[in-house]
Structure formats: C-alpha cells, structure tokens
Structure 1
Amino acid sequence: MRLFTILFFLVVSLKLSAQNNSKEVLFTVDEDPVYASEFIRVFNKNLDLVKDESQKDIDAYLKLFVGYKLKLKEAKTLGLDTVPKYKRELSNYRSQLAKNYLSDNKVTDALVEEAYERISNEVDASHILIRLDENANPSDTLKVYNKLVELRERVLKEGFTTVQKEVHDGKEVYAEDLGYFSGFKMVYPFETVAFNTEIGTVSMPFKTQFGYHIVYVKDKRKSRGKREIAHIMVNLNQADAESRIQDIYKKIEQGEDFESLAKHFSEDKSTANKGGKLSPFSSGELRSKEFEDQAFAIENEGDYTKPFKSNFGWHIVKLIHKIETAPFEDMKASLEAKVLRDSRSKLISNSRINELKQRYAITNVDEDLNYFTSILNATYYISKWHTPEGFKPEKAFVKIEDQQFTYQDFANFLIKNQRRNANKLPFNEIVTKAYQTFLEKQLLAYQEAHLEFENPDFANILSEYRDGLLLFDLMENEIWKAAIKDTLAVQEYYNNNKENYFFKERVDAVVASSAKKKDISKVAKLLKKGKTIDQIKSIVNTKDQVNVLFTKGIMDGEHQVLPDDFLFQEGVSEIYKHNDAYVVAQVNNVLPKTYKTYEEAKGKVASDFQDAKEKKWLIDLENKYQVKINQEVLNSVKSKLNN
C-alpha cells in the first residue's frame, strides 16, 4: 500500500525530472528555482494519464504543480529528508531500481529466441528435490547426488507416484507434481532441464539455489495462449444458488442474451456491469483450477459451459476470444527485458564484466597477487587465517578509476571467504579466484555508485521516487494521521456538515426481468391482481422454461436491475426497457432520503476531513513560502504546449 501511494504521487502529483537542460525559471519558491523545462516535461508525461479535465488546463495544472513544490519545500524544511527511515527506504529502492539498469543490453538473439520458444510451449512435470546448502562440502553434495541417482532409477522402474508417497516429507525432501508450466515460470536452471528432458524420461540430478533435483517429464504441448471470457456467477452463500444458476442457464438456452443476463443477475460485482467480461488470462493465472479448465475447454468462440461449481460460486462461462501467443517480433522487446531481469541474465554477465574492464581504468596487480599467495598458510583451510606481522594494510592495491582499494580491503575479502576454500585448493588458485571475484564485485559496485551520472533515465526515476517518498511522509504526518489522532475534530466536522451524509431514496421491491416484453406484461397484470411472487412464478415459469427472473430487496437508484429513470413510487411500476430486457417492479415501500449517523458515515467523514484540512494547510504554505511566477516564461510555456 505504501509503495502504491508513492507511485500515485509520481504519476498524479506532478513530479519533475532530475535533469534540467533549460535554465528558464518558471517560478521560484523562496528563491528556489523551478524550471520551465521541468513543467513542460511533467505536463506532457501526465497528459494522457489524468482523468480530471482541470489537470489538462495549463493554469489549473500549474496551480497543482506549485502546490506540489510547496509541499516538498515544507518537507525539507521539517528535515524529513534526514530521517533514517526515509534514507533507508530510499536506499533500498535505489538498489532495486539499479538492477534494471546494470545488465548488459546486448542480449543475444539465441537467448531471446529460446525464451520465446519456451513461452510458446508448456511442460507437464514432477520433480524430487533434496534441499542442500549452496556451500555444502563435497562429501554432502556427493551423498545427495547419489541419493537422487538412486531415486531416479526407482522412478523409472516403479513410477513417480510410488516413490513420491514414500520420500516426500515437506522438509528436506520434496516430491511434487508441478502441472503444466512454460518459460519464466520456474528458475532458469530448472526450466532448462525440464524443457530439454524427453517425455516419459527422468533427468539426471542437477543443481538450483534450492538444492538438487531430478525432473520427470510427463507431457509437452503447445501453449494454450490466453482466453477472454465472460461469466455469470451466483454466490455460494445463497440457499438456492444452484437452482438460480440453473434458471439462468435455461434462459441462455432459450436464446436470451448472455451479456444482458450477466448485467442483471451475476453476483460478481467487478464484472457484472461489463456483461461478465474478465481480462484475458493464461494457464496458471487464476486461483480456481476448475474455472480455468472449464474456460480452456470451450472450443468455439461464442460457446458456453453448463453450470459448474468452483470454490467461489456457481458459474456459467462463455468464450469470447481465443488469444494465441503473439509473433516473435511483437514480443522481442518485452522478452529482452524479462531476460535481463531473470536469473538467465547470468549467462551474459561475463560480457558485462568484460565491458566494464574496458570502460574503466584498472591498475595491474600481478605482483600484489604473488605477495598474497606467499602469506597464506594452512589456517586458511580451517577459517582461522589472519594477516601476518608486518602486513601493510594501507598499501595501495587495485585502483578503479578514482577509487583506490588497499591491501586491507583485499585481505578482508580473503578472510570473509575462507570457508569457500575448505576443499584445499592451491594458494595461488585461491588468490587468483578471489581477486577475480573481488574485482568483479568492485567493478559492479563502482558502476552502480556512479549510475546517476552515467544514465539520465535512472537519475530521473530515482529523483521522482525520492521526492514521492518524501511527500508521502509529509502527507502522512500532516494530514492522513489527523483523522486518527484528532477524533474530536472529525466529529465536529461531521456536526458542521451533516447535510452531506445521507442514504439516497430507496425502495423495498421485487423486480421481474425478462427478455420478452409479453412475459413482463403478463407479470405486471398478475401483480396488479394481487398475486404473490410464488404464484406468478408458477404461472410464467415452468420446470423446463424460465421466462422471468425475480430480484427482491432494498435498492437505490444505482442498483443493477433498476433503470436509470425508475420512478420511486409504491405499487406496480410501469414496464421499462433496461439492459436489452424488460423489467417491472412491485414497490412495497419507498424509503425516503435519510441522514446518516456519525458511525454510518465515519469513513467518508474522515476522508472529507482530510481533504478540508489539506486545503487549509496548502493556504498556510502559500503564506509561509513566497512564490514568484515569471509571467513571460509562462506565456512561452503555454505557446509551446498549445502548439
């Protein structure tokens, strides 16, 4: 939630870039300049994102922009940018963001093509994993490896299920059916072995960060792509849920419009007003396997399932569109980005290191490595080595550009990594490998530390997040927590604004809906004769024919079964055309507009109280900090933006 709110500020609350090429000052806040180029960039960036038309008006947008800068000025005045929590969160975000900019952009065509091939196919597999620490000694590693070789032979002879029941303990040994998966769904080493293992065979043991595995491949198939569907759902908590979904199904079978029925009767509120439509999804994306299997089982667009039950409710699913995997060229750019973020990026890390070695000036340390080889001894193998007497910690070691590393820096690295050499490698090999790792680590660290100077896009995004995070903390302290802390003030705000909090006029009614006007006309006549709903149902509906559905309850004008122009009046209503169907209502009682108590309106009151407090606070900031707008520059900005 915290990150979402920060990102909201970045998009809606007007953030400027860190890089300023133009020196035209649009306005100042207590002599701090804000450049025209910043405003133009932000205005254009957010133009297609904002829904409020006022934010597309330059003068109105400038007012919001000035308010944003005033808040940032106040945050820095209060020293919020010096708070340890703020610094820590910004540092964590910087580290995460940097990962997207520190990969080699020269992703090989082969790697991207492999990724496309794998997302275009699916593997049905099971595996056995024996967990093992990445730094396990060779004897333990060999023991696990041999155990998996033995289990592999058993799987080939006895079948996976038999072995699974015997060995799975959910702690050290995992024997699991994974179902179908495609590219990027598993860690890269696992994915690679699974796709390269023939159907009906078991791989040899292999290593991932979790331990050692064997994989049994049961089947391979082309990806099922995505499905765009619509559904009608009835909640399980209804006593007549099954009979109601069957009634709806009969109406579909009778030729009534699926979309219209979904709008009238689907209890999935997130999709009902869209005719039951869901966003397209692929295998494994839904929480209900039953729902997913039913959706993918529909062969033809326009066909629909029989009613079925999931853990969410009773459904009828209609296939709108089959979406096949996009062509390679259409996906190439997104696949390159995914490869860079994925563990498979390690395959191209060497090219990145080599490029950095070419980019940065690095001193030669061959003689220094010989020295470190000479001072190692047997204690290194038991993690007790330390630098000898006469060691010169401040002596210059390797230098990357302007950053000098000392003998002590490298010695600390050797000491920290002693346990990795328990297999007693020769000292010169230990030192050489350690130096390569040390150098690579320092090269990457140097690049990351200087990323803001080397990559403008990174600098801009980091600057946006920095100010967004600062604004979040300011708003939380000054506004959002106010409703929690000052309950008396919120209560007083309610007392002064009671007229804004009320229940709209509602009706206690039964609404009859049908695709056929003649059926609703018949219902209207029967209602006027005083027939009960059960009596009317028995007349207009039969066991095999559901012509009319009835909805009962207290409803306001926004209820999905009521037309926009519905007349709130007791008795039998006129017949309305609504959502490509016809409705008539028996209004038992009209509930007038009534004002809400404080408890009933508490959430909305707290939100309104915060809005009012923020407006007053912004006026105080305008009085506290002097804002001077350069009208000549503003006229120039308007000219550029209006062309």
Structure 2
Amino acid sequence: MKHRTVSAFVITLQVAYLLILPLTALAQTSTDALLTVGGTPVDKDELIYLISKGKGTDTQTPGVSREEFEENLELFINYKLKVKEAEARGLEDTDEFAREFASFKESLIYPYLIKNSLEEGELRKAYSRMQEVVRASHILFQFPPNASTEDSLIVLKMALKVKGEIENGGDINELAVQYSDDPSAKVNKGDLGYFTGLQMVQPFEDAAYTLQAGQVSDPVLTNFGYHIIKVQDRQPNPGQVRVSHILVRFDANNPTQEENARRKIADIYTEIQKENTVWEDIVKTYSEDPATSQRGGLLPWFGVGSMIPEFEMGAFSLSEFGEISPPLKTQYGYHILRLEEKKPIASFEEMEESIRSKILRDSRSGMINSQVVAIQKARYGYSENEASVNSLAETLNPIAKPEFTTTVRSQSLDKSPLFNIQGKTYLMSDLTAYMDGEEISPKLKGGTFDIWFDRFVSKTLSTTEEKDIESNNKEYQMLLKEYRDGILLFSLMNQEVWEKGISDSLGQAEFYRKNIDRYQWSNRIEAFIVKVLDPAQAENARKALQGNGYNQALIQEFESDYKANATLAYHTESGTYEYEEHPVLSKIDTQKSYQEIEVDGALYLVVTGQKIPAGPRKFEESRGLVIRDYQDHLDKTLIDLLKTKYPIQINPRIKEETFLVLNQ
C-alpha cells in the first residue's frame, strides 16, 4: 500500500463520493452520541473536527449552510459504515496496516512533542541571526593533551590576561599572531572575515552575536579551547552572489613567480578593458582554473562565510551585473571577478529544512535533547534512586554489554530500583530488557551502565510523553483516529471498488451493456485544424491545403514542412471530433472540405473529411468512462449493502447541536 500524505477522509469526502444519498429515517438514540453505526456510538466532535478541517481557514463564508451540513453528514455516515466494515473484516489486524499506521503515527505525533517546539525555537533563532553577517577576529588558547583542572585554569588565566591587553589598547590581530593556537592566525592574524548563523560552533556564535562592533568577549569555551573574540563589524546579510573569475596561480614561497603572476593579471585586466573583448574568450585563454576555464569561469552560488574572506569581499563589493573587479590576491593566486547574479537571503520556509539539518548535526542537537529530558523529568515527576543507581554504576560500569545481563542476574540485581516516573518504579530488569532489544550499541565514551542508563531514561521519558499526548491531547486523538480510519477505508475501497473496478473485465462489459445509453457519440467529423500563429505564413498554408481533401498524406507532408522551415508559424491538430460543441468546428460549414474562419481573433484553416452520424461508442472507445462509472456503481452498491448490515440511528437533538457548533 502506498503512503498518502493527504488525509484519507478528506480525499474520500471531496473526490470519491460524487453522489449524495438520501438520509435513512432513523429513531433517536438513547445516548448523547451523534449517531450509532451498527450499535457503535459516534461522537459529534469527530464530525465537527472533520468538517472544520475540510473547510479550512481561507473560506470567505463562515460556518456551513444547512445543505452543506446535510451533505457532509451523509458523507460522514458512508465513511463510518465503511470503517465499520473494514474493522469487521479484520483489516486493522494485518501486518500491512500495522506498518503503515506506525509510519503515520511517528510523523503525526512529532508536532505535539516538546522536542519539536524547542527545535522550532532554534530554527527561528538561527534564521533570525542569518539576517546579519558578523566580522570578527579571535585568539584561540588550546588545552594541552589530557589537560587537568589546573591546566585548564592556567589557559583561562592566559586568555584573561590577553583580553586585558586588548582592552588597554592592544591590537587583537597583532596579539593573535603572538598568542593564538589557531594555525591560520599566522596568515589571517585571527581575522575570520564575515560569517553568519550556523557557520561557527554554537558557543562561539552565541558570543559573537551578543557583541556590538568594537566589543571584546570574556573567554568563550568551545571544544577547541578558550577564545577571545572581538567583533569588528555587523552588516545586513547581502544574500548570495554568483561570479565568474579568471585565476593566475603562483607559489607563495617564490617571489619571482608571484611578481610574474601579478604582471600577468594586470595585463589581462588591461585586455578586458578594450572594446569588443569577449569575457569567455579571455577566460578560456588565460585562466588557470581547470574546473571553470572552459565554461566562462562560472562558479556556483555562494553566501557570506562560504569562501575565503578576500575573494568573498571582492565578490560582494560588485554591484552591477557584468561589473568586473580589479585584480585581487588570495592564497590561491590572483583573481579577476565578474558579477553574474545576486539574490537576497531566501525565506524561512525555503531554508527551514537545510537549517534543521545543520542544527541536528551540531552541538545544538545535544543541547535540545538535554532540554527535552529536563522538561520531561519535571512534567512527569521523575525521581531517581540515587543510592541504588550509584551502587549499580560502580558495579556494572566495567562490564561489557555482551556480559551485562548475565552479570546482573548472577548478582541478583534485577530488582534494584532505578527511578520513578508518574509513580511507576522502573527496575534494573527493565534496563536489561531495553539493552537486549537494542541491536546497535551506542558509540560513546564512559561506563557501560552510565551510557545505557541515560539512554533508557531518555527512551522511557519519550514513551511516557507520547502516551500522555495520546491520552490527553484531543486534537492529536482526532488526527490519529482520522488517519487510522482513513487507512482502513482505503484498504476496503481498494478491495471492493477501485481494484475491482479496474480488474473485473466481465463486470465492466456487463455494466457497459446495461448502460449503453451513457456511451454515445454525437455527430462527428474528420478534421485537420491549422491555427495560424504567424500571419506572414498564412498564404503558404492556403496553397498547401486548398483543393485537397482530408487525408493522412496531406497532414504528414504539411507538418513535416512547417516543422522544418517555419517552426513557430502554426499550431495543428487532427482527428475525428464531435464537432457540435467544438470551439472551432462548431462554427464551420460541414459541407465544405476547406474553409477559413476566425475565432477569438485567430485565423484557422480547416480541412474536413468524412462525417459520422451519432451512435453508440464501442466498448474499447469507452473503457475509461466505463471503469469510472463502474467504480461509482460498486461504491453505491457497497454503501446500500452496509446500510442494511449496520443499522444507523441519528440523535436529532445532538445533530442540531452539532450544526449550531459549526456555525458559532
């Protein structure tokens, strides 16, 4: 079964049911349910939810009319009848249903999870930061290998000392050359150029975006060590740029080679200034970038922080399309750039998935997961048995996973308490059962117990949250039921209507025979219709078509000739048409074999042939229509059968309440 991204009920409501059947006269039920289907009560909230969802928020007319309500109620009854039958046939007990429902459930619950709201906040914060670019310099102070706490304090004191020098007038770029453990500082003097959100590790980015131009940070701890950061500039994000370039390479350690490259790029720049110079030819002749020299030097789109700073600043300094930069120097050589295109930063909707992907790959993911666990613990009354957990950790951390469960049982640790959630105590036996069910071991450093205990706590809290949502979130309950019932309905309809309507050739033929009056041709005529798009070519078409009756040789010759010599001169079509309703043929004289008419300001040349009187279509000519109508017939027959099989009772009082709620 294929996954359906649109609600199965909405599809059924809007497409599958084309006929509105009269409601059965039914007695009032004795409950507060809107109706019962074969004795099973159905609450009014389900109908209210589905009608409100189907109507949406963009409609100009609030509420529903009485007629719309009655139609939707009838569709809803038919829907519930089919779900009832699918349940009776055990379609929800199949492996196929279980797989599809589990897949839907996983995606449906996500928007309701704590994690989603936290991720959404990070997405919005990241996109907000992307509206600006920051230029910053930094000095990195790394920890020695296997650093002790004392080592860390020494590094921190050094970072604070250098920060003081900067605040007393020291130049951070000169100090970076002297102190920074970042290897690139010897070349860039700690200047990182411009960057934007999600281009630096999170602690560094957080610090940089809190500083104004000229401000210096306190030491910022990242996985690389401590950083002192000074923001040099903040600007609106210019978006993305596309340039082509000419590159002349040189060896940075060979002054003579660099001088020769400088002279060559200057000569190329002078050549470009001459009239009638073709950029692509200059690139092909002189550029030493093999990846782009044969395609005009064109580079992919890029934004701030994607290229080395010198190249990036040169590209973004260009403002007019086709503008050419003076030669600029980078670590790769000398370049001349030409601006090809610019575009602003994309919308949040366009960037959402790429931002999400980046967030889930960096340290923000771990931060979000930690916040989720903290909120879940507070919400669901998590309490840890610290004494028991500490004792178990000391005993079991050295034990490898393959021997873990055996060790727990041999030392009678199964009943050792771990933690409580919502009043339920989880034991060591629950943890080993979880570990045994996990095929892949986590690749984390630390003791075996500590690693798996944290994973088990997180999994148990997540399961608790999902059960809480399923039990208490009315909107999610309705959505889950809608998809569950929709899968069942689809399965039943596939068996009894859609697949049967396509594969039952005998049934199709019998239906066609009994309903032959539906499949009739009106009067038809053979015609070759030429719409003249270029008036200058009209006379050529006349000469080719006049005096010739309708025949395939004429049509093929005409079309071959104009496609070879005047591709955009005409638009043609040919075949046998029901002409009385045709926009062009309805206006012709069917007694003439050639004529010219004007329709909506366009000239048409028409060659006609044999006329065919009205009559029945052959089965093969009507097969598509017959299958559609046969499926509708099977659907109606199924509904009539189910209404007999599962008596329906409607509560008139609750029905009226439902109508009033929908029109509040």
- TM-score greater than 0.5 by the shorter chain: yes
Is contact 1:414-1:434 (8 Å) kept? yes
* 1:449 matched residue in structure 2: 467
Is contact 2:397-2:450 (8 Å) kept? no
Confirm whether residue 4 of structure 1 aligns to residue 4 of structure 2.
Answer: yes
Is contact 1:511-1:561 (8 Å) kept? no
CA shift in 2, pair 1:378/1:564, >3 Å = same
Confirm whether residue 38 of structure 1 aligns to residue 46 of structure 2.
Answer: yes
CA shift in 2, pair 1:117/1:506, >3 Å = farther
Confirm whether residue 27 of structure 1 aligns to residue 35 of structure 2.
Answer: yes
CA shift in 2, pair 1:462/1:119, >3 Å = farther
Distance in 2 (CA, whole Å) between partners of 1:558 and 1:115 is 58
Distance in 1 (CA, whole Å) between partners of 2:518 and 2:34 is 39
Q: Offset of 1:89 from its aligned partner?
A: 2.5
Alignment of 1:110-259 (within 5 A): 111-115=123-127, 222-223=239-240
Match of residue 69, structure 2, among 58, 61, 69: 58
Confirm whether residue 606 of structure 1 aligns to residue 627 of structure 2.
Answer: yes
2:68 partner amino acid? D
Larger Rg: 2
* 1:571 matched residue in structure 2: 593
What SS does the corresponding residue of 1:2 show, helix, strand or coil? coil
* 1:209 matched residue in structure 2: none
Confirm whether residue 82 of structure 1 aligns to residue 93 of structure 2.
Answer: yes
Is contact 1:104-1:351 (8 Å) kept? no
TM-score for both structures, normalised by structure 2? 0.54
Q: Offset of 1:615 from its aligned partner?
A: 0.8
Which 5+ residue runs of structure 2 have no aligned equivalent? 16-30, 134-195, 206-222, 224-236, 243-300, 302-319, 322-340
Distance in 2 (CA, whole Å) between partners of 1:527 and 1:419 is 76
Alignment of 1:377-456 (within 5 A): 380=400, 386-387=406-407, 389-412=410-433, 429-456=447-474
Q: Offset of 1:464 from its aligned partner?
A: 0.6
Is contact 2:123-2:352 (8 Å) kept? no
CA shift in 2, pair 1:497/1:395, >3 Å = same
Q: Offset of 1:385 from its aligned partner?
A: 7.0
Q: Offset of 1:327 from its aligned partner?
A: 7.8
Q: Offset of 1:356 from its aligned partner?
A: 0.9
**Superimposed CA distance per residue, residues 514-538 of structure 1 (whole angstroms, 9 cap, x where no aligned partner):** 357797589669855569979x989
Q: Offset of 1:469 from its aligned partner?
A: 0.8
Which 5+ residue runs of structure 1 have no aligned equivalent? 16-22, 122-181, 193-205, 207-219, 226-282, 284-298, 301-321
Deviates most, 470-479 or 81-90 = 81-90
**Superimposed CA distance per residue, residues 537-594 of structure 1 (whole angstroms, 9 cap, x where no aligned partner):** 89x999998884252521536999953744472512341224x522221223345556
CA shift in 2, pair 1:55/1:621, >3 Å = farther
Q: Offset of 1:472 from its aligned partner?
A: 1.3
**Superimposed CA distance per residue, residues 243-263 of structure 1 (whole angstroms, 9 cap, x where no aligned partner):** xxxxxxxxxxxxxxxxxxxxx
Q: Offset of 1:624 from its aligned partner?
A: 2.2
Distance in 2 (CA, whole Å) between partners of 1:466 and 1:57 is 25
1:60 partner amino acid? E
Is contact 2:238-2:344 (8 Å) kept? no
Is contact 1:502-1:596 (8 Å) kept? yes
Match of residue 346, structure 1, among 343, 365, 374: 365
**Superimposed CA distance per residue, residues 306-355 of structure 1 (whole angstroms, 9 cap, x where no aligned partner):** xxxxxxxxxxxxxxxx9976886xx4799499739973572522211111
* 1:553 matched residue in structure 2: 574
Match of residue 618, structure 1, among 629, 639, 643: 639
CA RMSD of aligned residues (A): 5.3
What SS does the corresponding residue of 2:99 show, helix, strand or coil? helix
Is contact 1:520-1:583 (8 Å) kept? no
Number of equivalenced pairs? 445
Is contact 2:524-2:579 (8 Å) kept? no
Percent identity for Structure 1 against Structure 2: 21
Alignment of 1:486-501 (within 5 A): 486-501=504-519
Is contact 2:596-2:605 (8 Å) kept? yes
Is contact 2:10-2:54 (8 Å) kept? no
Is contact 2:401-2:448 (8 Å) kept? no
1:350 partner amino acid? S
Q: Offset of 1:183 from its aligned partner?
A: 11
Is contact 1:571-1:586 (8 Å) kept? yes
* 2:279 matched residue in structure 1: none
Alignment of 1:303-342 (within 5 A): 331=348, 335=352, 339=356
* 1:105 matched residue in structure 2: 117
Confirm whether residue 483 of structure 1 aligns to residue 512 of structure 2.
Answer: no
Distance in 1 (CA, whole Å) between partners of 2:382 and 2:482 is 34
Distance in 1 (CA, whole Å) between partners of 2:612 and 2:585 is 17
Q: Offset of 1:391 from its aligned partner?
A: 1.3
Distance in 1 (CA, whole Å) between partners of 2:625 and 2:2 is 21
Distance in 1 (CA, whole Å) between partners of 2:411 and 2:568 is 98
CA shift in 2, pair 1:470/1:562, >3 Å = same
* 1:367 matched residue in structure 2: 387
Is contact 2:38-2:645 (8 Å) kept? no
Q: Offset of 1:603 from its aligned partner?
A: 3.9
CA shift in 2, pair 1:597/1:54, >3 Å = farther
Is contact 1:377-1:385 (8 Å) kept? no
CA shift in 2, pair 1:463/1:393, >3 Å = same
1:472 partner amino acid? F
* 1:245 matched residue in structure 2: none
What SS does the corresponding residue of 1:588 show, helix, strand or coil? strand
Is contact 1:505-1:592 (8 Å) kept? yes
What SS does the corresponding residue of 2:490 show, helix, strand or coil? helix
